[in-house]
A = this chain, B = another copy of it.
Amino acid sequence: MAVTFARGFRAGTAACGIKAFTAGASAIPRDQRDDLCVVHSAYPCDTGGVFTTNKVKSATVVIDQLHLQRNRVQAVTINSGNANACTGAQGFRDALLMAKLSADRLDLDPDQVLVSSTGVIGRYLPMDAIKPGIAEACGNLSAQSGEAAARAIMTTDTVPKTAQAEVDLGDRTVRIGGMCKGSGMIHPNMATMLAYITTDAAVEPGLMTKLVRSVADRSFNQVTVDGDSSTNDSFLILANGAAGNDPVRADSVEAEQLEAGLVLVAQELARAIARDGEGATKLITVRVLDATSDQDAREAARAVASSSLVKTAVHGGDPNWGRVVCALGYSGAELALDRLHLTVGGLVVFERGAGVDVDLAAVRRAFEQPEIEIVANLGLGEGRSEAWGCDLSEEYVRINADYTT
C-alpha cells in the first residue's frame, strides 16, 4: 500500500500527458500512463524535508522549503514528465499554482501543499494539462492508490518502488509507508530522486525535521552520491498522528524506535533504486565496518558502491579486489592497508596487507548471485555504514570486466 499504508493517508492519480505536451503534442497520447499524483493526509502533518544541494534548484524545491516553514502540510502534489527547473519566474508561478489548485480542491491553504516535479529541465510546465489532472487526482483519492501513486512518479524507472513497516511505540502500533523514484544506473550524474515516507505516528512538532537528515544519510545518500546532483531531488517525511499514540518527543526511546522504522523503510527504498539500473543484473551491498567514524564509513562505502570499475568487475564475475581497495583509497576515508580485512560474497580476499589466495571459482560463484555483499573492515575505529549500487554491463564491461584474467 506504500504511501497510503499509514492511517489517514490517501492518494489519487491522473494521466495528463505532461511529457508529450512539454514536447509540443496537442493531445494526450492514446496509451498515456498516470503522470501526476496527489497524496493527502486527513490531518496536518509534522513534516521534514531534505532537498538537493545543487545551486540550480527546481521552483518546486524553493516553494517546498518556503511552505515547510509553517509546518502544517496536508498534501503533496507530484508530476513526472517535466522538472520545472531553469524556468525562471514562470516556473515559480506554475509551482505555486500547482499548490493552489490542489489546496482549492482539498479545502486547504496553498502553503499546506508541497509540490514536486521530475522530468526534462528547462521547459515550462504544460499547466493546461496539469490543471484538469489535479482536479481528477483530488477527486479519486483512495487509501488503495499507494501503488498507483508510485507508478505515477516514475520516469526512467523500470519498476515502481514502495516499502512499508510497522513499529510498536508503547501500546500502539504505528505504520510507516513510502515510495520513491530514481534509477541506480543514472548515478553518479543521476536523474532526479524523489522519495516520500508517510507515518501515522503522533510526534511533537519539529521531530521530523530533526530526523529526516539522519535518515537520508543512512539511506538515499548512500545510493545517490550525497543526493546533491539533480535540480529536483527531494525527500519528505510526513507524520499525521492518526495512530493516536502519545506524541513522540525528541531524544526519547520512542523517537529512536520510530527512527529505526523510518530508516528501515528508507533503506528498502534506497536499495530498490540501486537495483533498478537498466541492464543491471544484481544488487551490490557494500558494508564498511570499524572505520574511524560513521562519516568515514559512509564515504568509503559510497566510493566502492559507485565505482564503475567495481561495478563492471561484479558484472563480469571478476574477483578483482584491487578495484575495491583502490576505491577505498580515494574515498577520503582513513585507511591502513595492514588493518584492512575484505570479504566478497563471504569469502576473504584481502587481509594483513595483501591479497589472499582464494578459490577463484568460489569467488566467481559468489559474484554470480543476484545480490552480492562486499564487506570492508577497516580495523581503525567504530564507524560503520552501508551503501548500495548495481552492476554495470555492456560495452563498458567489455573493456573492463575481464581485465584481470
Knowing A55-B335, A121-B323, A322-B121 touch, does A188 contact B188 (C-beta < 8 A)? yes
| A399 at interface by CB-CB < 8 Å | yes
Knowing A189-B309, A330-B55, A353-B88 touch, does A322 contact B122 (C-beta < 8 A)? yes
| A23 at interface by CB-CB < 8 Å | yes
A55 and B55 CA atoms in complex are apart in Å by 31
**Is B325's CB under 8 angstroms from A122's CB?**
yes
- A384-405 to B contact mask, C-beta < 8 Å, 1/0: 0000000001111011100111
Knowing A86-B355, A120-B404 touch, does A326 contact B231 (C-beta < 8 A)? yes
A228 and B396 CA atoms in complex are apart in Å by 21
Chain B residues whose C-beta falls within 8 Å of the C-beta of A53 in the assembled complex? 330
8 Å CB interface, A42-95 against B = 53-57, 83, 85-88
A394 and B393 CA atoms in complex are apart in Å by 10
| A320 at interface by CB-CB < 8 Å | yes
| A209 at interface by CB-CB < 8 Å | no
Q: Decide if the interface of chain A is mainly helix, strand, loop or mixed.
A: loop
**Is B329's CB under 8 angstroms from A231's CB?**
yes
**Is A400's CB under 8 angstroms from B186's CB?**
yes
**Is B189's CB under 8 angstroms from A228's CB?**
no
**Is A321's CB under 8 angstroms from B403's CB?**
no
Chain B residues whose C-beta falls within 8 Å of the C-beta of A228 in the assembled complex? 330
Residue of B nearest to A332 (CB): B55
| A164 at interface by CB-CB < 8 Å | no
**Is A54's CB under 8 angstroms from B354's CB?**
no
Chain B residues whose C-beta falls within 8 Å of the C-beta of A85 in the assembled complex? 322, 326
Chain B residues whose C-beta falls within 8 Å of the C-beta of A57 in the assembled complex? 329
8 Å CB interface, A296-312 against B = 306-310
| A185 at interface by CB-CB < 8 Å | yes
Partner of A185, one of B310, B328, B335, B396: B396
How many A residues face the partner with a CB closer than 8 A? 60
Chain B residues whose C-beta falls within 8 Å of the C-beta of A185 in the assembled complex? 396, 399
| A337 at interface by CB-CB < 8 Å | yes
| A327 at interface by CB-CB < 8 Å | yes
| A156 at interface by CB-CB < 8 Å | yes
The smallest C-beta distance from A44 to any residue of chain B, in angstroms, reads 33
Chain B residues whose C-beta falls within 8 Å of the C-beta of A309 in the assembled complex? 186, 189, 191
Residue with the highest number of chain B CB atoms closer than 10 Å, among A123, A185, A330, A353: A330
| A279 at interface by CB-CB < 8 Å | yes
Residue of B nearest to A309 (CB): B189
The smallest C-beta distance from A254 to any residue of chain B, in angstroms, reads 37
8 Å CB interface, A254-305 against B = 278-279
The smallest C-beta distance from A238 to any residue of chain B, in angstroms, reads 27
The smallest C-beta distance from A50 to any residue of chain B, in angstroms, reads 15
Chain B residues whose C-beta falls within 8 Å of the C-beta of A219 in the assembled complex? none
Knowing A337-B56, A399-B278 touch, does A188 contact B308 (C-beta < 8 A)? yes
Ranked nearest first, the 7 interchain pairs of A and B with the lowest CB-CB distance are A121-B322, A56-B329, A122-B322, A54-B329, A55-B329, A122-B355, A189-B308
Given contact pairs A85-B326, A231-B322, enumerate 13 new A-B contacts (beta carbons under 8 Å): A54-B326, A54-B330, A55-B334, A83-B322, A86-B325, A121-B320, A122-B350, A186-B399, A188-B308, A189-B308, A189-B327, A229-B330, A231-B325
